[in-house]
Amino acid sequence: MTRKIKVGIIGAGRIGKLHAENIVNNFKNVEIKAIADVFADKIKDWANSIGIENVYSNHREILNDPEIEAVLICSSTNTHAQFTIEAANAGKHIFCEKPIDFDVNKIKEALSAVEKAGVKFQIGFNRRFDHNFKKVHDLVKEGKVGEPHIIKVTSRDPQAPPIEYVKVSGGIFLDMTIHDFDMVRYLSGSEVEEVFTHAAVLVDPAIGEAGDVDTAIISLKFKNGALGVIDNSRRAAYGYDQRVEVFGSKGSVTVSNDTDSSAVLSTEDGVISEKPKYFFLERYKDSFVAELRDFFNAIENDTETPVTGMDGLKPVLIGLAARKSYEEGRPVRVEEIEA
Amino acid sequence: MTRKIKVGIIGAGRIGKLHAENIVNNFKNVEIKAIADVFADKIKDWANSIGIENVYSNHREILNDPEIEAVLICSSTNTHAQFTIEAANAGKHIFCEKPIDFDVNKIKEALSAVEKAGVKFQIGFNRRFDHNFKKVHDLVKEGKVGEPHIIKVTSRDPQAPPIEYVKVSGGIFLDMTIHDFDMVRYLSGSEVEEVFTHAAVLVDPAIGEAGDVDTAIISLKFKNGALGVIDNSRRAAYGYDQRVEVFGSKGSVTVSNDTDSSAVLSTEDGVISEKPKYFFLERYKDSFVAELRDFFNAIENDTETPVTGMDGLKPVLIGLAARKSYEEGRPVRVEEIEA
Amino acid sequence: MTRKIKVGIIGAGRIGKLHAENIVNNFKNVEIKAIADVFADKIKDWANSIGIENVYSNHREILNDPEIEAVLICSSTNTHAQFTIEAANAGKHIFCEKPIDFDVNKIKEALSAVEKAGVKFQIGFNRRFDHNFKKVHDLVKEGKVGEPHIIKVTSRDPQAPPIEYVKVSGGIFLDMTIHDFDMVRYLSGSEVEEVFTHAAVLVDPAIGEAGDVDTAIISLKFKNGALGVIDNSRRAAYGYDQRVEVFGSKGSVTVSNDTDSSAVLSTEDGVISEKPKYFFLERYKDSFVAELRDFFNAIENDTETPVTGMDGLKPVLIGLAARKSYEEGRPVRVEEIEA
Amino acid sequence: MTRKIKVGIIGAGRIGKLHAENIVNNFKNVEIKAIADVFADKIKDWANSIGIENVYSNHREILNDPEIEAVLICSSTNTHAQFTIEAANAGKHIFCEKPIDFDVNKIKEALSAVEKAGVKFQIGFNRRFDHNFKKVHDLVKEGKVGEPHIIKVTSRDPQAPPIEYVKVSGGIFLDMTIHDFDMVRYLSGSEVEEVFTHAAVLVDPAIGEAGDVDTAIISLKFKNGALGVIDNSRRAAYGYDQRVEVFGSKGSVTVSNDTDSSAVLSTEDGVISEKPKYFFLERYKDSFVAELRDFFNAIENDTETPVTGMDGLKPVLIGLAARKSYEEGRPVRVEEIEA
């Protein structure tokens, strides 16, 4: 039997709790030794109920525990870079939720600390582990569609987040589209060279007043010559719309939305199928387990993680380029941001 | 926090192991205190690895343990009735794999022991807990298709079982179609009154030599006046085909096969989607957890189980009628079998 | 340029008019020289408007015209056999609407006259010429599904006919299912050996009072060993439901309903597609032209017609067997009817 | 009975012949009195075979015939504007194939002549009359998707045209995308304000050498605030790909490709459906008849044509803006082109 990997979780909000429960239910060889959250009191009962004994209010207690090999950073975005640096310095392997930061320099500092420490680092782009998108990726990689020519991503939320969240979200391109920027990199096997953004406030004027947009078309040019386009909306009346297409010299591959069942009801009113699964927790349920499986495997077998630090940096650069393009009304090269 | 339900598992073949692992991974309030199997030695390591301490070769050690509240009977079919009687007499709640027996009298004896003991009893018709079929059931129950007129079930396996298995299987109607007989009862909300069977050996002559058939159309008449039809094959080249339709006065509801992904590949060769999920373990994965959830809930809340002893008896009666119809070349009323 | 084929049409009801207009719009090498209808006065204006000059009340004027090579018999069913005999005796090629008659002996007399006269004879089983069913037929014939094991036909009307029509229709098996009996012969490439019928009155009690049924499951056994099943309803709330499946040793082929568009509307209420095309005139529009094309080609090139006299006789035999099975509650061999 | 509309056709290439045959087969109240083509000799036999008596090499013979009320201009693009002016001056109603010209001033001159003459003028944007796109348009107009937010068009050809054609085609944006520019105007009910083009040569280097591109993403901003995107390829390996989506405040509507049948073949190799209908002649067959029906109705009832001169001008302006955007690497406002 394999050794136990002892981990600590930093941040016990929605995503921290989700990871904790996924670990308890799915990984016999992983033990959550401790969890830290600024509101330690509030999570104690929940933590105990799933068998986590140590609940701290200060994440440093986790970093100081020599038995803990790896940490999951699930705290608020503005702490990701700092905690990554601290954890790397403490020699812990790191699974960090996206994005690392909105500031490129802070990301680079964090990645530099990781590199120096030689610890494993994985960023939480869970959609790469989704059964549909992984299948598209695999078919493209096997050459089934030939050379990619056009990559398309449709990504629409079932409803806009609260305005208070919008204000601190980093804007739609870093909060929502960032997943799509990761997706086009994953599917195309190439880097984005240039973006052009058309965007508007069509869902809710309050989003505009908060300085953000809620509807966008982002046109992309890849280093390998392929073109791409992402369309986003903060609110699709019919629910969470998550589709992609890769079109190439030999054909195309598309995926459609997942639903709770394949039931089709035919009546006088029409032929009615189910709406998409509600939102990302339902839609990407299995992917959250799958990404951790790969992270723990990388630790156990001392192999590379499937989503690296560079994969954490690039989508932020593209997101910043997308915003700049919108603000300046012109195409923006990603290297302009890096410079 | 709720009390722990302590259970024992009798029989550690494929399905016994599946249930054991599902309990360990999904039910924090359930503890598998012991498992019994005639080949106790062979399963010890596996049992320990998932945290089951007591491994017996004799199921009576489970029945004699006063701490064990409930048993799962997962041994070979010919022991189901006997073990049910013993477990009932020992005052244990019972989850029993289908079928209870091929012999109606033995089933009735077992059900009678259960009734006398007043224990919970649930039969393992897991497909009722499948997301697709449950949705059809719910829509029918909500009246969305009106009064049911025609119930259709397509049920085809990806490949025929080994001939050695065919010989002891009880025949296609009790081994394979039995699930479909349960399904039409579940979906129609009515009892089957009469069956007529057309059957043939088209997949493999060896199945015929073993005294069985491999392809069948079973036409049904329900007590509420509705009609139905089941079509079976022991081998569909494209995989496990599991579809149903309920057609009624206000419309119809259908479900299609589940696939590993929604990827559609379009090339010069055509527009290609995925084949159905491979077989019942993959296709009905979640339903095996869901049926146990309801069983444990029934114990915890002292409510009725969702699949009762009568639900275990009826499909056997229909199966025997289907076989008689095939053998005698005439429609057979189910009450002929009961008499 | 090819010579003109001059034809006469007997009977100018809905189907007679349809054929007339289809000929005018699609076949430059065919001229409708005359049309006969007992209500000649009522159709004169319509006939003239599409360029038919001669409108008779007596069909014999058509049969006596030596310039007319071929006739289309579109009058009421009870006249088909008699008019076929007269037309054959007059040396005319014959396109006859289905069914030839409800009486087997009358059909045989008619076919005998046709054979003796050596004229072309085609029966109006138009669904064989439908793009979907023809594709299924072709794929089966090419061996794509291997040896056929199970043939399934779903055939449901959008609404029941008027009770006055039901009374003279010959019953559901000869009026409605007759098309499905032709379809299973067409798709299976084999003859029906035995049928068993479960039927009921579920749509409208008045249909039962008229001595007919409105819902049926007809189980079939073919000479080549394959099995089959047809399900019928006189009323599907969502419209005209016309689907088939051929399942065989190498796979299956299915077709779904045609719709007016592929539009899918996704809203808060669900994901809604279009209902099937309304009824047979809309659904099988092109097939009515295609069947005539083959008829005229057979005349022009002196080749066999694609739907022969035997194809007209067999479905009537199967229909009579289906009715007998329902009435006597037992499987009936088709040869019992022929005897 | 209605009067006959006498028409002349100018240009008897593929599209001229198509219109001629559609008129002969579908419009009893329309007579093609004459057809003109520079290669009059070559088309005489064909013209006679469908009943057109007068075949001229000079289109002026048509314009000088006082009996002819309307002309269809189907000659090469470079003659459209000139022939429109001449026909308008001769008082003929005009159905003109797209585009009117590649030069905005010439188009304006032609439209000015039409306006002055007060004749009917319709441009051949046939896709508006397609069953799928018309349904999308109607659902949008009925408010089913609410306010449009995102309009998407996928338009890919099954194969690139010959290089000789590419050279005189006006470039992809005026030759191919022009239909899509018309489509987004038709579906959005709004005007395009700004375009940004990403384009590349990925299908065939020879297209690049001819000064054109073969793959493009065109991002759009509409006057009503909505956004849009068109993706084009000169070659989709799986065939002619023609899809649209309109996404709005209340939901979305999409259409998929038409196929020759709905047959789905399931085998060991996968679940295979048909590829799209081959190319525009097959895919849009019925729309070519429907656009003429509306044209002739507009003449008969003296009503407005459904696709006006402005509808002919606007897509050319957008196409020129799209090209300019590509050439200059910046978003271009359509009013820049008009200025």
Residue where a domain terminates, one of A86, A119, A152: A119
Question: Which residues of C make CB contacts under 8 Å with D?
Answer: 1, 25-26, 28, 49-50, 131-132, 134-136, 139, 144-145, 250-258, 260-268, 274
What is the model's pLDDT at position A1?
Answer: 43
Dist CA B169 CA B102 (whole Å): 10
Transcribe C128-159 into DSSP letters: GGSHHHHHHHHHHHTTTT-SEEEEEEEEE-SS
Dist CA D57 CA B271 (whole Å): 46
Domain shared by C178 and C223, yes or no: yes
Domain shared by B109 and B40, yes or no: yes
CB-CB under 8 Å, D131 with C260: yes
Which among C223, C187, C232, C225 is positioned nearest to C334, based on CA atoms? C223
DSSP B252: E
Domain shared by B146 and B217, yes or no: yes
Q: What's the mean pLDDT in A97-116?
A: 96
- C-alpha distance across the termini of chain C, in Å: 49
What is the model's pLDDT at position C1?
Answer: 43
pLDDT > 70? residue A323: yes
Chain A CB contacts of C236 under 8 Å are 266
Amino acid symbol at D59 = H
As for the ipTM of the complex, it is 0.95
- C-alpha distance across the termini of chain B, in Å: 49
Enclosing domain of residue B133: 128-284+315-338
Q: Which of C236, C237, C270 sits opposite A272 (nearest CB)?
A: C270
Tokens found for residue C281: 């005139």
- Tally the residues of chain D: 339
Q: What percent of chain A has pLDDT over 90?
A: 97
Instruction: Determine the distance in angstroms separating the CA of A143 from the nearest CA of chain B, rounded to an integer.
Output: 12
Domain contains B290: no
What is the model's pLDDT at position B105?
Answer: 96
Chain C CB contacts of D258 under 8 Å are 262
Instruction: Give the residue on A whose Cα is nearest the Cα of B139.
Output: A265
Chain D CB contacts of C275 under 8 Å are none
Domain shared by D133 and D277, yes or no: yes
Q: Which of C236, C268, C272 sits opposite A270 (nearest CB)?
A: C272
How much is the CA Rg of chain D, to the nearest whole Å?
Answer: 20
What is the model's pLDDT at position B338?
Answer: 79
Identify whether the C-beta of residue D260 lies closer than 8 Å to the C-beta of residue C131: yes
D62: left (phi over 0), alpha (psi -120 to 50) or beta: alpha
Chain B CB contacts of A259 under 8 Å are none
Domain shared by C68 and C33, yes or no: yes
Domain shared by D171 and D83, yes or no: no
Q: Which of D156, D228, D237 sits opposite A249 (nearest CB)?
A: D237
Chain B CB contacts of C149 under 8 Å are 200, 202-203, 215, 233
Q: What percent of chain A has pLDDT over 70?
A: 99
In sequence order, the 6+-apart residues with CB closer than 8 A to the CB of A304 are A298
Beta bridge partners, C153, equal C230, C244
Instruction: Give the residue on A whose Cα is nearest the Cα of B24.
Output: A25
Q: What are phi and psi of A5, to 5 degrees?
A: -95, 125
Domain shared by B157 and B44, yes or no: no
Arithmetic mean of pLDDT over chain D: 96
Chain D CB contacts of C252 under 8 Å are 265-266
Three-state DSSP state, A142: coil
Question: Which residues of C make CB contacts under 8 Å with A?
Answer: 236-238, 266-275
Q: Which of B215, B221, B236 sits opposite C227 (nearest CB)?
A: B215
Domain shared by C242 and C259, yes or no: yes
Number of domains chain A contains: 2
Q: Which of B28, B135, B257 sits opposite A263 (nearest CB)?
A: B135
CB-CB under 8 Å, D199 with A196: no
In sequence order, the 6+-apart residues with CB closer than 8 A to the CB of D69 are D5, D6, D7, D92, D93, D299
Domain contains C21: yes
Instruction: Give the residue on B whose Cα is nearest the Cα of D277.
Output: B270
Question: What is the CATH number for C325?
Answer: 3.30.360.10
Identify whether the C-beta of residue A272 lies closer than 8 Å to the C-beta of residue C266: no
Q: Go through B305-323 and write b for each residue having 16 or more CB atoms within 10 A of its CB, e for each that does not.
A: bbbbbebbbbbbbbbbbbb
* Pairing between β-strand D93-96 and β-strand D121-123 as defined by DSSP bridges: parallel
What is Dmax (Cα atoms) for chain C? 67
Dist CA B176 CA B169 (whole Å): 9
Chain B CB contacts of A251 under 8 Å are 265-268
Residue where a domain terminates, one of B90, B119, B148: B119
Dist CA C114 CA C94 (whole Å): 9
Residue where a domain terminates, one of C119, C148, C183: C119
How much is the CA Rg of chain C, to the nearest whole Å?
Answer: 20
Q: How many CB atoms lie within 10 A of CB D186?
A: 21
The enclosing H or E element of B254 equals strand B251-255
Domain contains C37: yes
**Preferred mutation among D247, D249, D253, D273 to probe A, highest tally of A CBs within 10 A:** D247
pLDDT > 50? residue A251: yes
Identify whether the C-beta of residue C145 lies closer than 8 Å to the C-beta of residue C250: yes
Instruction: Give the residue on A whose Cα is nearest the Cα of D214.
Output: A149
Dist CA B328 CA B332 (whole Å): 9
Chain B CB contacts of D272 under 8 Å are 269-273
**D299-D301-D303-D307 Cα dihedral, nearest 10 degrees:** -50
D69-102 pLDDT, tens digit per residue, is: 999 999 999 999 999 999 999 999 999 999 999 9
Instruction: Give the residue on A whose Cα is nearest the Cα of D216.
Output: A227
Cα B75 to chain centroid, rounded: 14
Chain C CB contacts of B202 under 8 Å are 147, 149, 225-226, 249
Dist CA A291 CA D41 (whole Å): 72
- Contacting subunits of B (3+ beta carbon pairs below 8 A): A, C, D
Three-state DSSP state, C191: coil
Domain shared by D64 and D99, yes or no: yes
Query: Confidence band (pLDDT; 50, 70, 90) for D53?
Result: very high
Domain shared by C113 and C242, yes or no: no
Apex A189 CA angle, A333 and A224, nearest 5: 50
Chain D CB contacts of B273 under 8 Å are 270-273
CB-CB under 8 Å, D271 with B270: no
Dist CA A95 CA A292 (whole Å): 8
pLDDT > 70? residue A180: yes
DSSP D256: -
Dist CA C188 CA C146 (whole Å): 11
Apex C315 CA angle, C314 and C321, nearest 5: 95
The enclosing H or E element of B17 equals helix B14-26
- Contacting subunits of C (3+ beta carbon pairs below 8 A): A, B, D
Domain contains D171: yes
Which among A155, A236, A164 is positioned nearest to A206, based on CA atoms? A164
Tokens found for residue A239: 């629910």
Place of tokens 């899809």: D243
Question: What is the CATH number for D59?
Answer: 3.40.50.720
Query: Confidence band (pLDDT; 50, 70, 90) for B288?
Result: very high
What is the model's pLDDT at position D3?
Answer: 75
Which among D152, D134, D153, D136 is positioned nearest to D144, based on CA atoms? D136
Amino acid symbol at D164 = E
Q: What's the mean pLDDT in B32-58?
A: 95
CB-CB under 8 Å, A25 with B131: no
CB-CB under 8 Å, A145 with B261: no
CB-CB under 8 Å, D271 with B272: yes
The pLDDT tens digits along chain C (339 residues) read 457 999 999 999 999 999 999 999 899 899 999 999 999 999 999 999 999 999 999 999 999 999 999 999 999 999 999 999 999 999 999 999 999 999 999 999 999 999 999 999 999 999 999 999 999 999 999 999 999 999 999 999 999 999 999 999 999 999 999 999 999 999 999 999 999 999 999 999 999 999 999 999 999 999 999 999 999 999 999 999 999 999 999 999 999 999 999 999 999 999 999 999 999 999 999 999 999 999 999 999 999 999 999 999 999 999 999 999 999 999 999 999 987
Domain contains A289: no
Chain D CB contacts of B275 under 8 Å are 266, 270-271
Instruction: Give the residue on C whose Cα is nearest the Cα of D27.
Output: C25
Q: What separation in angstroms does the CA of B305 have from each of B27, B96, D94?
A: 17, 12, 76
Q: What separation in angstroms does the CA of A323 have from each of A243, A336, D169?
A: 23, 12, 37
Transcribe B56-125 into DSSP letters: ESSTHHHHT-TT--EEEE-S-HHHHHHHHHHHHHTT-EEEEPSPS-SSHHHHHHHHHHHHHHT--EEE--
Tokens found for residue A248: 């190439």
Instruction: Determine the distance in angstroms separating the CA of A260 from the nearest CA of chain C, rounded to an integer.
Output: 12
Instruction: Give the residue on A whose Cα is nearest the Cα of D196.
Output: A196
Three-state DSSP state, B287: helix
Dist CA A259 CA C3 (whole Å): 60
Instruction: Determine the distance in angstroms separating the CA of C52 from the nearest CA of chain D, rounded to an integer.
Output: 14
Dist CA A42 CA B75 (whole Å): 46
Domain contains A295: no
Which among B233, B283, B333, B301 is positioned nearest to B3, based on CA atoms? B301
Domain shared by A89 and A188, yes or no: no
Chain C CB contacts of B249 under 8 Å are 202-203, 235, 237
Q: Which of D139, D145, D265 sits opposite C251 (nearest CB)?
A: D265
What is the model's pLDDT at position C3?
Answer: 76
Instruction: Give the residue on B whose Cα is nearest the Cα of A28.
Output: B50
Transcribe A207-247 into DSSP letters: HHHTT--SEEEEEEEETTS-EEEEEEES--TT--EEEEEEE
Domain contains A310: no
Domain shared by A216 and A331, yes or no: yes
Domain contains A307: no
Q: What separation in angstroms does the CA of B194 have from each of A112, B219, B318, B320, D57?
A: 75, 8, 8, 12, 78
